[in-house]
């Protein structure tokens, strides 16, 4: 389910079946030209990938609006704000909480967060390119297998 | 001076507004006529657009996944959407194209998606199951059969249209 009016009608009816939350992490970086492009591409991939996962598992996954954060070379990642987001969702009966990102920086602070980090290595190129989309599809398939393995526990 | 400036800009503002509204209204009046004038074949109709998805000769009795892209307009939002179907030849040689969208809450089902249930479609979300012909297995979450795509065959190519709820035989 996505955070959309239409989906929420369904969500309200079927809440007990939707036990998995996915929060996409979207970086914003406006300092160095090549970093700007890289991070914008990363954001696009994240949004695209998150939607693809939601599409496969629509009936069980709640796709949260994206958590957006500024990324500069000088400041630390804002784990506190993100942790607050996660805590907010604690009121709801989600059994699994996943963070979805292409930014490896989160990998280093994973332990401070009360959720499972789904990290994919960033690939260069646009989603529209055949080759990039092939790689991305493969990555996403593995990610979806991983999510399913959490469900089987 | 400043007052004059203001007046001009206010007049301009009014001008813009009026042309804006006028233009908008004109467009509103024109639009339906334009629509009629266009060749109906070019009109993206809500119910009947078919896309070529496979060669009929390639289709076997084993359900295979086919994919195609359509332009979807969702209110004012237009996007490319990838559609998928499970396609196979039935006993009598006719083709059946099933929508992969689970009739429980909309996850995507897989053919033989679970080893325990061979020869069935399986939904990974809540264990929904369907027989090969798309009919839901009783006492699993889905309450209806998988939707069936409208299809047509032209010169050996399979075209799929809209997915529709299955009519009970
Ligand atoms: S969405 Fe398929 S079983 Fe629930």
Asked if residues A97 and A86 have their Cβ atoms less than 8 Å apart, the reply is yes
What part of A 130-149 touches B (C-beta under 8 Å)?
148
Contact A55 B108 (CB under 8 A): yes
For B99-151, what is each residue's pLDDT tens digit?
Answer: 999 999 999 999 999 999 999 999 999 999 999 999 999 999 999 999 999 99
Instruction: Tell me the average pLDDT of chain B.
Output: 80
| A14 to chain B: closest CA residue | B105
Neighbour count for residue B130 (Cβ, 10 Å): 25
> pLDDT-derived band of residue B168, with 50, 70 and 90 as boundaries?
low
pLDDT at residue A128, as a whole number: 78
Does the beta carbon of B106 lie under 8 angstroms from any beta carbon of chain A? yes
pLDDT at residue B12, as a whole number: 52
pLDDT at residue B73, as a whole number: 80
Neighbour count for residue B90 (Cβ, 10 Å): 11
Contact B105 A17 (CB under 8 A): yes
Distance CA B122, CA B108 (A): 9
Does the beta carbon of A17 lie under 8 angstroms from any beta carbon of chain B? yes
> pLDDT-derived band of residue B26, with 50, 70 and 90 as boundaries?
very low
β-strand partners of B71: B80
Structure tokens given for A121: 């290595």
Transcribe A63-117 into DSSP letters: EPPPEEEE--SSSPP-HHHHHHHHHHHTTS--SEEEEEES-THHHHTGGGSSSEE
Distance CA B31, CA B4 (A): 40
Which residues in chain A are closer than 8 Å to B104, comparing Cβ atoms?
A: 17, 59
In angstroms, what is the span from residue B126 Cα to ligand 1's centroid?
5
* Residues sharing a CB contact under 8 Å with residue B144, sequence separation 6 or more, in sequence order: B103, B136, B165, B166
Which of B130, B134, B142 shows the shortest CA–CA distance to B95?
A: B134
Per-residue confidence in pLDDT tens, chain A, 153 aa? 999 999 999 999 999 999 999 999 999 999 888 889 999 999 999 999 999 999 999 999 999 999 999 988 777 888 999 999 999 998 888 999 999 999 999 999 999 999 999 999 988 777 778 888 889 999 999 999 999 999 987
Does the beta carbon of B124 lie under 8 angstroms from any beta carbon of chain A? yes
For A57-100, what is each residue's pLDDT tens digit?
Answer: 999 999 999 999 998 877 788 899 999 999 999 888 899 999 99
Distance CA B128, CA B147 (A): 15
pLDDT at residue A34, as a whole number: 86
Q: Is residue B158 over pLDDT 80?
A: yes
Atom of ligand 1 nearest to the CA of B127: 3
Asked if residues A144 and A57 have their Cβ atoms less than 8 Å apart, the reply is yes
Which residues in chain A are closer than 8 Å to B77, comparing Cβ atoms?
A: none
Q: Is A27 exposed, middle or buried (0-12, 13-18, 19+ CB in 10 A)?
A: buried
B141 lines ligand 1 (CB under 6 A): yes
> pLDDT-derived band of residue B27, with 50, 70 and 90 as boundaries?
very low
Q: How many CA atoms lie within 13 A of A79 on its CB side?
A: 13
The pTM assigned to this predicted structure is 0.80
Contact B107 A14 (CB under 8 A): no
pLDDT at residue B29, as a whole number: 45
> pLDDT-derived band of residue B75, with 50, 70 and 90 as boundaries?
confident
């Amino acid at each position: 389910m996505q955070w959309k009016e239409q989906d929420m009608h369904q969500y309200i009816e079927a809440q007990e079946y939707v036990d998995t939350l996915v929060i996409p992490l979207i970086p914003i970086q406006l300092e160095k030209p090549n970093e700007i492009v890289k991070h914008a591409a990363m954001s696009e991939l994240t949004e695209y990938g998150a939607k693809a996962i939601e599409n496969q598992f629509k009936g069980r996954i709640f796709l949260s609006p994206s958590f957006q954060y500024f990324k500069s070379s000088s400041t630390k990642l804002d784990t506190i704000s993100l942790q607050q987001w996660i805590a907010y969702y604690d009121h709801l009966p989600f059994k699994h909480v996943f963070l979805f990102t292409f930014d490896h920086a989160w990998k280093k602070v994973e332990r401070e967060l009360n959720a499972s980090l789904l990290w994919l290595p960033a690939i260069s190129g646009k989603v529209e390119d055949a080759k990039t989309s092939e790689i991305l599809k493969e990555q996403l398939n593995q990610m979806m297998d991983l999510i399913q393995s959490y469900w089987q526990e | 001076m400043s007052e004059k400036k203001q007046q001009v800009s206010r007049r301009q503002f009014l001008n813009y507004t009026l042309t804006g509204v006028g233009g908008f209204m004109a467009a509103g009046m024109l639009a339906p006529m334009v629509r009629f004038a266009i060749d109906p074949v070019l009109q993206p109709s809500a119910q009947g657009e078919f896309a070529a998805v496979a060669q009929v000769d390639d289709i076997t009795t084993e359900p295979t996944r086919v994919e195609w892209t359509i332009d979807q307009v969702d209110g004012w939002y237009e996007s490319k959407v990838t559609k998928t179907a499970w396609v196979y030849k039935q006993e009598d040689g006719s083709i059946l194209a099933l929508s992969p969208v689970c009739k429980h809450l909309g996850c995507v089902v897989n053919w033989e998606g679970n080893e325990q249930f061979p020869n069935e479609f399986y939904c990974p979300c809540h264990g929904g199951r369907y027989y090969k012909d798309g009919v839901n297995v009783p006492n699993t979450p889905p309450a209806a059969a998988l939707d069936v795509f409208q299809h047509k065959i032209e010169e050996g190519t399979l075209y799929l249209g809209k997915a529709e709820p299955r009519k009970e035989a």
